Structure 1
Amino acid sequence: MRYLITLLFALATLTGCSQDSSNEPPPTISDNSKMYFPTNSTAWETQNISSLNWNTNALSDLKIFLQNKNSKSFMILVNGRIVVEEYFNGHSATTPWYWASAGKTLTATLTGIAQQEGLLNINNKVSQYLGTGWTSEPLDKENLITCKHLLTMTSGLDDATDAVDPASLLYKADAGTRWAYHNVYVKLQEVIANASKKTWVEYFNSKLRDKIGMDGTWLTIGNNEVYSSTTRSMARFGLLALNKGNWNGLQIVNEAYFNEATSTSQNINLSYGYLWWLNGKTSYHLPQSQLQFNGSLIPSAPSDMYMALGKNDQKIYVIPNRKMVVIRMGESADNVNMALSTFDNELWQKINALNN
């Protein structure tokens, strides 16, 4: 499966976080143990790294590592508050950057929202929403493919190309019998648009982006719809994910669906949910391969972590037991065009050093 497609540290505060660029005074922190959600303004509560009893000496090593690994931005949230916020290589808090395949989780989330609104059912066949002939498969095989198969990468369609026009969507195996990382998941955006009678962008903006105060736009790159936003907007989505679809008391996507999305979704690739990657499982598959690998995806990372991973090391790591969200945007860390690489394990070794 083929994937989608500047040296300056940003000024840091004494807390290890970038200062708010607005004229607003910082909000008063009353209880750092309570979950915090930023308002739609530019203000965002911060927390001093030393108040967490973290190793402040390890922060410098982490920042050097990130800069040397072609990073553009990095954030750590704990209970929703910014503990670390750094920008590198000419990037800034107001510069947008593409999410690449990390944005697949946005599509998964919108699918859940559309389902709870009664617009679709993920167990229904895709042709119910797109009509027959959306693939080049025989009709009986096409009718096996449900929306859930697109969410779980088990459509059975040939993954030899990124293209999603009918002529390129060819039979490889019966739906549900083969896991293969495939761009065909974008058909869910068409499903949602048809079911809602809105454009994909209209539905996304009104049901998710605007409700949690994200910025950003969808860009068409090749055969893909790719989201681009600031780092803080990516962090907002990570915070929503940490809280299982809830934003400061408003349930954007229901918790039951979100729990399904961040759990093993089929029995072939145990480390995959609904377009989310899952750490801590006993085995995993990777894109462009039918091989099964034993062990956890990122051995040095927490076992309860679920992840949005994109080309050139775009990362959203969500760690429920630590009430933590970690964001990394940038160029490929090691000139490897994989959503997952050895960079993940090395990065988590640096993050873990903060806690020692």
Structure 2
Amino acid sequence: MKLFKRILLLLLIAIGIIVYLNYPKLNIISGYAAKNMASGVFVAERSAASITQNDNNVPLIELADTEVDQTEKTATSRVYGLMNRTAIYRDGLGTVLVNDDYDSDATDLRPKRIQNTDTIAYPFGQAAPLDTVLPEIDQDQLDKAMAIAFGNADVQKTRTALVLYKGHLVAEKYVDGFDKDTPILGWSMTKSVLATCYSVLEQQGKLEMDWPAPITSWENDERKNITLNHLLRMQSGLEWDEDYSKISDVTQMLFLDSDMTKSPRMKPMIAKPTEIWNYSSGTTNLLSGILRQQFRSHQEYLDFPYSAFIDKIGMYSMLMEADIAGNYVGSSYSWASTRDWARFGQLYLNRGNWNGEQIFKPEWVDYITTPTLNSEGQYGAHFWLNAAGKYPDVPKDLFSCNGYQGQYVFVIPSKDLVVVRTGLAENPEFDVNAFLSAVVKSVP
């Protein structure tokens, strides 16, 4: 009996230690589950059952139980009855995790959208795509490429895929529950969207990439030497831990912070600018905060991404989500349909020209595709590159927006291609090289 009691005591102690060590993580787990559910239901208009079965069915997050309130437009999650977190939907601003800083009585400003109707065929307008047969395309080969994207569904988990060739929609496919109008969370593809705001301000002559970052608290220390270029290239030298498997800088920012521009602004330097390359979602949200400083009012800031290029190119399904403080979460939270993500790629394939209007300088594309020092040829300025041949059977001039779980917008200038793929698995589970090389083989 004494031995049994000792074993039981040791077991209880072990359980206590496990709970003690993992209890803080519950805040992140339930926060992720609630935020993902609320956005999926109220932004993408998908069913809670589908999100539970698919999007939130990942290690640790699957431990959370989530309830949706359609009237209040909220989702509340908890893990084993502990650590309740609630996310609430705000029209025009997406969802946000509620904390002590959230004021339910406050009237949120929302971006003003301009949606025009036209008779121009997709992707350059709102009319249906042209039913065009391009004789130079090997349709059988293109069909094989799409089959690769959707093959082995339990592993690759592709949801949508689309191919534009010379501005023509030549391939498009969706799994059940998704269609051409379903908004898809871009995750870190949002970084490229946020960076494009800087391209427009540069085009307008309002800033230059070699300007020091305008942050007052940096003026009297070594951070005063950090430029906008350093931030866009993720080579500022600022400390940042981009680890999603634990309580880290990035998980605390995304699931605990009210103002997501604050924590990265307070980070010390661990290297001089350009000495290291360190991928950092905090850096992008810092840039979002700097972007806000360029405007006289919060309303002007909220309107700018849409008026500057999003609505101009007809990405009407796009929604950029904001934090409690009203900053766009440029690191992670924007939604758009697969067709609208392709419009974004086409804007870059066209080097900033859209139906005759130059939205940003053509040289901006050269800038964002120039490899960043110490990134091993994989990163430019808030865009990913194939300059070092990461995808060996794909042209090296490929550049892309990449997001968590395999959200991709690929631009291949030498082949006049824009390729979009979304899903729940990324490279290597989703074989990017096999898919893209098959698409490339279908065109001259």
- Identify the TM-score tier after normalising by the shorter chain: 0.7 to 0.9
The structure with the greater share of residues assigned to helix is: 2
Q: Which runs of 5+ in 2 are unaligned?
A: 1-27, 37-49, 51-117, 242-248, 254-260
* 222-231 or 149-158, larger mean C-alpha shift: 222-231
Distance 1:185 1:341 in 2: 27
Question: What's the TM-score once normalised by structure 1's chain length?
Answer: 0.76
CA contact (8 A) 1:196 1:203 kept: no
> Cα deviations across residues 291-350 of structure 1 (Å, max 9, x unaligned)?
xxxxx221122211111111110001101111110001121247xxxxx77622232244
Q: Which residue of 2 aligns with 1:100?
A: 187
Contact 1:71/1:328 (CA < 8 Å) preserved in 2? Answer: yes
Q: 1:66 to 1:189 in 2, by over 3 A?
A: farther
Q: 2:321 aligns with which of 214, 219, 222?
A: 219
* Alignment root-mean-square deviation, CA: 3.0
- Going from structure 1 to structure 2, the CA distance change for 1:91 and 1:342 (only over 3 Å counts) comes to closer
1:43 aligns with 2:128: yes
Q: Corresponding residue for 2:304?
A: 203
TM-score (norm 2): 0.62
State the Cα distance separating 1:267 from its structure 2 match: 5.3
Hey, what's the Cα distance between the residues in 2 that align with 1:25 and 1:268? 44
Partner residue, 1:182 = 280
Map 1:66-85 onto structure 2 (within 5 A): 67-68=153-154, 69-85=156-172
Distance 2:277 2:395 in 1: 25
Question: Across the two proteins, how many residue pairs are aligned to each other?
Answer: 303
Alignment of 1:116-135 (within 5 A): 116-126=203-213, 128=214, 130-133=215-218
Identity %: 24
1:141-160 correspondence runs (5 A)? 141-160=222-241
CA distance in 1, matches of 2:162, 2:397: 19
Equivalent residue number for residue 411 of structure 2: 318
Structure 1 spans left out of the alignment, 5+ residues = 7-23, 28-35, 282-295, 335-339
Partner of residue 346, structure 1: 434
Letter in 1 for 2:421: R
The Cα offsets for residues 194-252 of structure 1, whole Å up to 9 and x where unpaired, read as: 11335443110110111101021112479745110111110100000101111121110
> In 2, distance between residues paired with 1:65 and 1:131?
52
Question: Does the CA contact (< 8 Å) of 1:308 and 1:315 recur in 2?
Answer: yes
CA distance in 2, matches of 1:125, 1:26: 42
State which of 199, 212, 215 in structure 2 corresponds to 1:112: 199
- Asked if 1 retains the 8 angstrom alpha-carbon contact of 2:124 and 2:355, the reply is no
Letter of the structure 1 residue corresponding to residue 313 of structure 2: I
Distance 1:88 1:212 in 2: 26
